[in-house]
Amino acid sequence: MAQTPQQRQANMRFAKAQEKKMGKPESPVLKKREPQKSPIGRIWIILLAFVLCGGLLFEVLKLFF
Integer Cα distance of 26 and 13 in angstroms: 21
Integer Cα distance of 17 and 40 in angstroms: 45
Query: Per-residue confidence of the chain (65 residues) as pLDDT tens digits?
Result: 788 999 999 999 999 998 888 876 666 665 667 888 888 899 999 999 999 898 888 888 888 88
Question: Does the residue 65 lie in any domain?
Answer: yes
Question: Does the residue 58 lie in any domain?
Answer: yes
Question: Does the residue 24 lie in any domain?
Answer: no
Cβ(33)–Cβ(26) under 8 Å? no
Using only C-alpha atoms, what is the Rg of the chain? Answer: 29
Question: Does the residue 62 lie in any domain?
Answer: yes
Question: Does the residue 16 lie in any domain?
Answer: no
Question: Does the residue 12 lie in any domain?
Answer: no
Number of folded domains that form the chain: 1
Provide the pLDDT for residue 23. Answer: 74
Question: Does the residue 11 lie in any domain?
Answer: no
Integer Cα distance of 48 and 41 in angstroms: 11
pTM of the model: 0.38
Question: Does the residue 10 lie in any domain?
Answer: no
Provide the pLDDT for residue 43. Answer: 94
Provide the pLDDT for residue 27. Answer: 67
Q: Which domain holds residue 52?
A: 41-65
